[in-house]
Amino acid sequence: KAGVTQTPRYLIKTRGQQVTLSCSPISGHRSVSWYQQTPGQGLQFLFEYFSETQRNKGNFPGRFSGRQFSNSRSEMNVSTLELGDSALYLCASTPDPGTYEQYFGPGTRLTVT
């Protein structure tokens, strides 16, 4: 079974721009979560989606948003990029919210200049 895939793997953007990252979960997995990883803050939860609904949101500004499609694929969007948004963005999937083990993709490395 294919793992979680994320596109693109690397991205360079300029401050003030916006960016959209994509995540395809493992086949049959319906819950998708997003995490931000930085050297200073470590791994921090962004949000979780199930059945196209956001179930949970971390402590991030409104510039960070996401959505999930009917095929469980998910996107996250960051508007008005700041230098501090440079990070590895990881997507994880689980079969459903009651299954707590999460399977992670390789991440998207975002660099904001």
Partner 1 sequence: AQSVTQPDIHITVSEGASLELRCNYSYGATPYLFWYVQSPGQGLQLLLKYFSGDTLVQGIKGFEAEFKRSQSSFNLRKPSVHWSDAAEYFCAVATLNQGGKLIFGQGTELSVKP
Q: Which residues here bind partner 1, judged by CB under 8 A?
A: 4, 33, 35, 42-43, 45, 48, 55-56, 58, 90, 92, 94, 97-107, 109
How many residues in total does the chain contain? 113
Please say whether the beta carbons of 10 and 19 come within 8 A: no
Q: Between 16 and 22, name the residue whose CB sits nearer to partner 1.
A: 22
Least CB distance to partner 1 at residue 47 (A): 9
CA 28, CA 26: separation in Å to the nearest integer? 6
Supply the minimum distance, in Å, between the C-beta of residue 36 and partner 1: 11
Minimum CB distance to partner 1 smaller for 15 or for 55 = 55
CB of 21 to partner 1, least distance (A): 13
Q: Which is nearer to partner 1, 85 or 94 (CB)?
A: 94
How are beta strands 103-104 and 42-50 bridged, if at all?
Answer: unpaired
Write out the DSSP string of 27-58: TT--EEEEEEEETTTEEEEEEEEETTEEEEE-
Please report how close the Cβ of residue 56 comes to partner 1 at its closest, in angstroms.
Answer: 4
